[in-house]
Chain A
Amino acid sequence: MSMLVLILILLAGGLVAWQAERLHPDLPRWAALGVVVIALLFLLYSLPAAPVSLAADPLAGHWLLHLKLAWIPRFGIALELAMDGLSLVLVVLTLLLGLVAIASSWSEIDFKPGLFQANLLWTLAGVCGVFLALDLFLFFLFWEVMLIPMYLLIAIWGHENKSYAAMKFFIFTQASGLLMLLAIVVLAWQGLAADGRLSFSYFDLLGLELDPRLAWWTMLGFFLAFAVKLPAFPFHTWLPDAHTQAPTAGSVLLAGILLKTGAYGLLRFCIPLFPEASMQFAPVAMGLGVAGVIYGAVLAFAQSDFKRLVAYSSVSHMGFVLLGLYAWNQLALQGAVMQMVAHGVSTAALFMLAGALQHRLHTRDMGRMGGLWHQAPRMGACAMFFAVASLGLPGLGNFVAEFLVLLGLFAVQPWLAAVAALGLVTAAIYSLWMLQQAFQGAPDEWREMADFDAREMLAMAVMMVALLWLGLYPQPVLDLAQPVIESLQGLAPGANTVLALATDAAGSRS
């Protein structure tokens, strides 16, 4: 029940924040802050001492919370929510970055602040729902719920080219979401054909025997939806526009958590539901991952817009997630989960910085910055920290993630790992170029710019501590994800086995 309450807190909190504007224009952000804090405390309070196994779960996973209420029994649709270590990590990340998003919008939003905070909270509610839903119909519902408020955030509070960016974001996500809906229906239909009972429950659909060709196409439906969201090369082109035009809080949520729903979907649904088809598809997916790593990094270097640069760096970093997921061994999967968390934090921080710069300088063009370290050493130090986190400096979370992914990948596809490792060099090139253009060089002596204040430094400090913790002692996160990864791995034989079989087959053919 507590998961439903958590989502309801966020949904209802949105209404409260919206209406609070009538009393005082400053009230919505306090209300939003309160709502997220309450949600976070409630979540921590309702966690059980030990995980349990569910009778219906063919994977024998370690579930912390589970809820199943009848909803539309006629179609076998239930209100089924469940939380294991993986969802817990992601929900906590969502709520923490929600706090960061509220903090970053604190003094930026003057137009309809109530509706803004409401949309923010509704996005959070949708994302939490996505991370918790185990009924595929409900999952799709939340998938849409998180899309619409995010669309509004960009379309109403965005920058100069907001309607184009919002529309592009909407169409990309909606079109690919439609394919997923189709795939979900086909899958449920197959379930009906197999055991005469229509059900959208994850547990019922796992391990379904499917015709290989049908499985392939259904898998592609899921993959496309998640690949667009991730975003994987070449479905990423909505991302730079959406990020550039979104208000700071929107970018923080988008990069920090919305992208992770794509990775989560692949890990929770796409690969486990279609293990064989996915493993056949793995070489393609890994190829897209490597392409994303390199392509994103080169394009990041080519940008002069601060936010666009960070957006392309996300494309590059999410390529590592795709690689890790489809390498499908313990090391690589742990790396992918770690990357979801670490990239969430580091990129949220970089977008907050970008937003703060735009708010102060009224430009995102790095050509018009330079030497900002002189005026704003605290901002410079924060930018330095998160830029080196993003280039994978050991001791920070992103390194642990990328190294684990590469380690896992190397066992499966050493040459691909070698190419992906080039991402370490290209990441250094764009990160340091960003620092140079914005913060180093000769300062503009007459420019007046306020440095980070205490509120902003607090948000930054929390994220810095988080990255250091993830980089030096990632074990708590690894331990939470471990049972989930193990149970999911039980389903699919693993890419190396399939590849070995494929090469054997190729060998015997020739």
Chain B
Amino acid sequence: MAGIWLIPVLPLASALLLILSTGRMPRQLAALLGAGSVGLAALCVALLARDFLADGEVRQVTLWTWMAVGEFTPRIAFYIDGLTVVMMSVITGVGFLIHLYSIEFMWDDESICRYFAYMNLFVGAMLLLVMADNLLLLYLGWEGVGLCSYLLVGFWYRDPANGRAARKAFIVTRVGDTAMALGLLLLFTELGTLEIQPLLAAADSQWQVGDSLPILATALLLGGAVGKSAQLPLHTWLPDAMAGPTPVSALIHAATMVTAGVYLIARTFGLFLLAPPTQEAVAWIGLCTLLLAAFAALAQQDIKRILAYSTISQIGYMFLALGVGAFASGIFHLVTHAFFKALLFLAAGAIIHCLHHEHNIFRMGGLRTRLPVVFWSFLIGSAALAALPFTSGFYSKDAILLSAWELPGSGPWLWAGGLLGALLTGIYSFRLVFVVFFGPAHTEPDHQPGWKMAAPLVLLGALSLLGGLLVLPLTGIFPPRDHPDASHVIEYISIGTPLLGLLLAYLLFLGRQLPVDALVSSPSGRGLRDFWLAGWRVDQLYDALWVRPYDALAYWWRNEPVDRVYNGVVSISQWAHNRLSALQTGQLRWYATTMVFGLVLLVAIMLRNAA
């Protein structure tokens, strides 16, 4: 397909038009432009994917040389291989469904124009991120999506809490981005290029496995990935980022942007293969994050925060996959997660929309019969999230766990940790289903979602169910792996664990055979719940470690300490001025006396010199 450049340009141009209209565009047109441009881009991606699947050729498009300073010649250029096609399909496909959904969700908002402008800008930046043939253009997309995330989290700017969440999202990820920028500096200084494919080739020929430079470079890139993908220790922004409109959470904070870190590592996997310690760190970061977030999800009460922690946890699985070298499985889980997590967020958004902006799951209940479409889609999403057999999440998560098991050395530990995570996932996702959709109703919905909201739910539901059957065109990109030949016992355990989680959730929250209230009301139980509810109190820790010291430093310096030096000079000269002008008394006898003393002094000096 010619005109590949059109794919990112469509949403970007639409964003530009929406911005230039300065909010005066009629909302019908804004919606048409906003969703239509992404729809067209999705169509173009579909054509591109058809061509790509037919011939399997890598496509490279150069638009122009961004800048050329000596050896440094990054280009605005695209590199399209199977991985890119997969990412582009997810971004535009899921993106279009979310845009369609947004039309109804945001219809009554006075700033719908601004909303679609930011959303389109996001899609454009995200496409640039995955299409970039060099790391600098990737970084442009990377920062661009970060900006859009900031703009959309703080979309309802009148509430300062939203602004705070938006700033937190931007600044915490910026810490990671800065590490990544340093990684870029290091890679260019050492290898002389930022173009990804030549860079990987150069690294392969110049560096040996286990050298310190690739370890440092990948550690810096990992810093960027951890920030963007909300992994330990930079995960704290994602739960707060739920302050944005729910479709934003579905698109940015579930399906696409937060998985950019996974994409980055997969894209530069050649570097990570040269740095086994970093790669192992990726696996352990993934495992710790997935467990930490799963425990935190157990205690949350806000429907969106549960989903946010579950996103952090699921990306932890992707990191685990990357860390054990199962790159294709990681990307597969990225794709299925995009389907079922977007579905879950959109379904949650439908609930919130129909329930007068209610977020607390304990004030919902009984929605199974009241919002049937939402119920079924949420159920499918939860099943896929929990990786119940034959859903899409089952295939992708199963592959990750098997790959972890096979890793020599720490493999079984990683596998066991991942399994514990799967159990917890089963519990928290069905806790959500049972509390929200079963039992007595606490709030009555005032309307049913219309077709623009229902259609994306149905389509994403189908994808979440059947997405496991997709065969991604990733062959030849990643190093081939031996096919799993783990014993059947391992297989059965990974199938059984989510079911056990489902059973536990049933016993705890629906059947009430297990005394959940007694557990929570005991002192240690309450302490633990509060601890998890506060996300392991990482926020408080960072407040004490970074935020308050920085505030204190700024407060201490606010009146410009350097100026005291100059003020000192001023004081000294003023003091001298006062002293010296005090000599000018205007009294004749004082002048006569000083003249006499001066003369005596002069004569004394002359005499001394003469002697």
A interface residues (Cβ-Cβ under 8 A, vs B) = 233-234, 236-237, 240, 295, 298-299, 301-303, 330-331, 334, 371, 373-374, 377-378, 381, 384, 388, 393-395, 399-400, 403-404, 406-407, 410-411, 414, 417-418, 421-422, 424-425, 428-429, 432-433, 436, 439-443, 472-475, 478, 482
Contact = CB atoms under 8 A, between A and B. Distances in A.
A447 B37 CA distance: 38
Given A234-B565, A394-B139, A478 B68 contact: yes
A472 B63 CA distance: 11
B72 interface: yes
A84 B237 CA distance: 49
A422 B181 CA distance: 11
A143 B138 CA distance: 44
A306 B174 CA distance: 23
B554 A417 contact: no
B69 A424 contact: no
Given A298-B553, A478-B67, A393 B147 contact: yes
B140 to A, nearest CB: 4
Contact of B69 (A301, A433, A478): A478
26 contacts: A237-B566, A298-B550, A303-B558, A331-B69, A373-B157, A394-B143, A395-B143, A395-B144, A406-B185, A407-B188, A410-B185, A414-B189, A417-B182, A422-B178, A424-B174, A424-B178, A425-B171, A425-B178, A428-B174, A429-B171, A436-B160, A436-B167, A440-B160, A440-B163, A443-B158, A472-B66
B140 A424 contact: no
A381 B189 CA distance: 37
The 5 closest A-B pairs by CB, nearest first: A302-B558, A302-B554, A394-B140, A440-B157, A410-B185
A403 B181 contact: yes
Interface centre among A303, A399, A403 (most CB of B within 10 A): A403
B492 interface: no
B170 A428 contact: yes
Contacts of B557: 295, 298-299, 302
A428 to B, nearest CB: 5
Contacts of B554: 298-299, 301-302
A237 B562 CA distance: 7
Interface centre among B69, B554, B562 (most CB of A within 10 A): B69
B245 to A, nearest CB: 16
Contacts of A384: 151
A473 B74 CA distance: 11
A442 B185 contact: no
Contacts of B170: 428, 432
A478 B178 CA distance: 25
Interface residues of B, number: 52
B72 A388 contact: no
Nearest to B70: A330
Contacts of B178: 421-422, 424-425
B186 interface: yes
Interface string B381-397: 00000000000000000
Interface in B271-302: none
B555 A302 contact: yes
Nearest to A422: B178
A439 B157 contact: yes
Contacts of A374: 158
A394 B144 contact: yes
B171 A475 contact: no
Contacts of B181: 403, 406, 421, 424
A395 B19 contact: no
A418 B66 contact: no
A475 B67 contact: yes
Contact of A381 (B19, B159, B550): B19
Contacts of B500: none
Contacts of A381: 19, 22
Interface in B155-204: 157-160, 163-164, 166-167, 170-171, 174-175, 177-178, 181-182, 185-186, 188-189
A404 B558 CA distance: 31
Nearest to B117: A381
A472 B140 CA distance: 10
B405 interface: no
Nearest to A373: B157
B446 interface: no
B150 interface: yes
Given A425-B171, A425-B175, A404 B189 contact: no
Interface centre among A295, A411, A425 (most CB of B within 10 A): A425
A474 B65 CA distance: 10
B157 A407 contact: no
B155 to A, nearest CB: 10
A378 B164 CA distance: 22
B139 A404 contact: no
B23 interface: yes
Contact of A418 (B64, B68, B143, B182): B182
B563 interface: yes
Contact of A473 (B64, B163, B171, B188): B64
B95 interface: no
Nearest to A378: B22
A388 B147 CA distance: 8
Given A298-B554, A394-B144, A425-B174, A441 B158 contact: yes
B154 interface: yes
B55 interface: no
Contacts of B189: 407, 410-411, 414
Contacts of B455: none
B160 A472 contact: no
B154 A440 contact: yes
Contacts of B566: 237
Contact of A237 (B68, B160, B553, B560): B560
B76 interface: yes
